[in-house]
């Protein structure tokens, strides 16, 4: 599909994260020799950096390892709300985990929020930190969602959470009701982590970028990790998997217990004043809003359009849906940025955090859904305590080895049945289009040399061809025209237009094909 035919004139032609564009992040070397450390933290996002900082502060020799560059995964593409209001969740938590565990979930995320705020102050980090109320609302005409929201508020009351029921919110929207949770926060996440990285380095921390770690781990007293291509060894006492999708499985089959979703964000300059607050609509089509400051202007981040990875409509359409919503609500002067993010969700909605089932010195942190600002900090604080052999009250709640009978079994069966459907469906799809039909900056599934292939013609006219079989488990990837990537609908692996791995669980690039064959 040619984006010139569908892309709104207001939308930036290429996706770019405002957080990354407005941060001056340092670069770090690639590991080029064997390395010894106390703790190897694999993954340079929010969990990894926070855990590395905490453990270095506690006196450990810590090495942070990142396959690409730091903060270029979900952390760099978030809406950066720091809140314990995680959508319509607490009523379900009570049903499936019980009141005590639901209360612990709120408590752990609230403590994480306060830790982020106090750490920014302690380290003197200027990161646009603002206290804001969070609002979860239901549209006035959506009776079904309103009833669910009323149940959610009763769960707040049962748990003693400081939520308030409102009949109106400070947006030009007619709502049926809303839950307000006061004193939450928002910030610039990468400016925050710039300050934390400086503190980590001053504590003696070591960082390597462009250093992918393989799933191979040897366990002989200490642990030995291996780099993906160069086979360098990292010897450590403890290893932390903070790599979004766990680099180490240990028989846990995380690929079958996590499902990936994409969501989209516009940074708009509104025509009408935005009154502040952080908003999330309940219901089948969530919409998220929060303010942000940029070059002396007050912008609003408008998010939503969630869908299973590889299963969206034309991805420019998701951006245009957000543009229409924001235009109707606030009016739009300009749209400086647009971007998308990928999040992993566990079978029961609660992250997997803690010791691997088969090795107590390998620690897992994954499945934050869309609330990684607090839950990744929960993970870092928990894992830091576990490595230091300190008691932590949230260990059982987040145990990655758990398997709740309801809803986990239903979700497990449904999700993996869909994977099987995708696996077979991609294999039997008949493709008519030829690569020669593609215009500049257009990608599509094509028929090449009698077989299914992925083709992208770049703006200079060069054709790039790849085998569309995902290198993780053999599903067929689909073209994502909004991000110019190949996305796998089975387990969420993503690849660049020329086949390089963007996101796991795949670790091997797509096979390149010869356009001349």
State pLDDT tens for residues 352-378: 999 998 888 999 999 999 999 999 999
In this prediction, residues 273-301 reach a mean pLDDT of 95
- pLDDT over threshold 60, residue 426: no
pLDDT at 406: 56
In this prediction, residues 244-253 reach a mean pLDDT of 85
Q: Which residues of 230-246 are buried (b: 16+ CB within 10 A; e: fewer)?
A: eebebbbbbbbbbbbbb
Higher pLDDT, 262 or 316: 262
Angle at 76 between CA 24 and CA 297, to 5 degrees: 65
Cβ atoms of 404 and 359 closer than 8 Å = no
- What kind and span of H or E run contains 458? none
Q: Is 364 helix (H, G, I), strand (E, B) or coil?
A: strand
The CA distances from residue 455 to 425, 438, 512, in Å, are 19, 8, 10
Q: Is 256 helix (H, G, I), strand (E, B) or coil?
A: helix
Per residue in 446-475, pLDDT tens? Answer: 877 767 888 999 888 888 999 888 888 778
How far is the C-alpha of 292 from the C-alpha of 443, rounded, in Å? 33
Task: Go through the chain and tell me how many residues it has.
Answer: 517
- pLDDT over threshold 80, residue 312: no
pLDDT at 404: 59
Beta bridge partners of 444: 455
pLDDT at 226: 95
Cβ atoms of 437 and 450 closer than 8 Å = no
pLDDT at 10: 79
pLDDT at 419: 45
The mean-pLDDT minimum among 77-91, 236-250, 401-415, 455-469 falls in 401-415
pLDDT at 61: 98
- What kind and span of H or E run contains 281? strand 278-281
Question: Of 443, 22, 504, 488, whose CA–CA distance to 243 is shortest?
Answer: 504
- Give the pair of three-digit tokens for residue 144: 């079904």
Range among 348-352, 416-420, 457-461 rated most confident: 348-352
- pLDDT over threshold 90, residue 224: yes
């Amino acid at each position: 599909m040619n984006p010139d035919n569908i892309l709104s004139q207001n939308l930036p032609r290429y996706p770019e994260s405002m957080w990354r564009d407005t941060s001056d992040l340092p670069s770090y070397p690639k590991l080029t020799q064997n390395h010894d450390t106390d703790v190897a933290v694999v993954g340079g996002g929010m969990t990894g950096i926070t855990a590395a900082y905490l453990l270095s502060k506690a006196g450990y020799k810590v090495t942070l390892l990142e396959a690409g560059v730091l903060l270029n995964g979900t952390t760099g593409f978030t809406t950066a709300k720091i809140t314990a209001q995680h959508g319509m969740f607490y009523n379900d938590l009570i049903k499936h985990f019980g009141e005590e565990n639901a209360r612990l979930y709120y408590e752990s995320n609230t403590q994480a929020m306060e830790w982020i705020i106090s750490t920014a102050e302690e380290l003197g980090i200027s990161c646009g930190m603002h206290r804001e109320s969070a609002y979860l609302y239901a549209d006035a005409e959506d009776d079904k969602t309103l009833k669910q929201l009323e149940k959610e508020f009763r769960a707040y009351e049962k748990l003693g959470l400081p939520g308030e029921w409102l009949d109106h919110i400070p947006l030009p929207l007619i709502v049926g009701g809303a839950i307000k949770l006061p004193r939450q926060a928002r910030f610039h996440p990468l400016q925050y982590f710039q300050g934390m990285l400086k503190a980590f380095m001053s504590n003696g921390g070591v960082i390597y970028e462009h250093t992918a770690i393989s799933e191979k781990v040897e366990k002989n007293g200490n642990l030995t990790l291996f780099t993906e291509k160069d086979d360098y060894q990292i010897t450590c006492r403890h290893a932390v998997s903070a790599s979004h999708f766990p680099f180490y499985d240990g028989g846990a089959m995380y690929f079958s217990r996590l499902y990936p979703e994409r969501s989209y964000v516009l940074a708009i300059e509104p025509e009408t004043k935005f009154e502040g607050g952080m908003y999330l609509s309940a219901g089948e089509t969530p919409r998220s809003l929060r303010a942000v400051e940029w070059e002396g202007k007050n912008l609003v981040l408008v998010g939503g359009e969630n869908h299973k990875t590889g299963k969206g409509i034309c991805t420019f359409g998701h951006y245009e849906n957000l543009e229409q919503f924001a235009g109707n609500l606030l009016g739009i002067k300009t749209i400086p940025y647009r971007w998308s993010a990928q999040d992993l969700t566990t079978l029961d909605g609660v992250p997997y955090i803690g010791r691997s089932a088969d090795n107590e010195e390998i620690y897992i942190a994954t499945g934050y859904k869309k609330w990684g600002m607090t839950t990744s900090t929960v993970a870092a604080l928990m894992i830091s305590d576990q490595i230091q052999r300190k008691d932590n009250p949230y260990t059982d709640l987040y145990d990655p080895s758990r398997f709740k009978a309801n809803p986990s079994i239903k979700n497990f069966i449904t999700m993996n049945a869909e994977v099987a459907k995708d696996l077979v469906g991609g294999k039997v799809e008949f493709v008519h289009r030829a690569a020669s039909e593609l215009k500049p900056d257009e990608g599509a599934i094509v028929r090449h040399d009698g077989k299914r292939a992925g083709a992208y013609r770049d703006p200079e006219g060069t054709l790039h061809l790849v085998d569309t079989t995902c290198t993780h488990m053999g599903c067929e990837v689909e073209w994502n025209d909004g991000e110019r990537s190949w996305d796998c609908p089975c387990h969420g692996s993503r690849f660049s237009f020329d086949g390089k791995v963007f996101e796991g669980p795949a670790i091997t690039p797509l096979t390149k094909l010869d356009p001349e064959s």
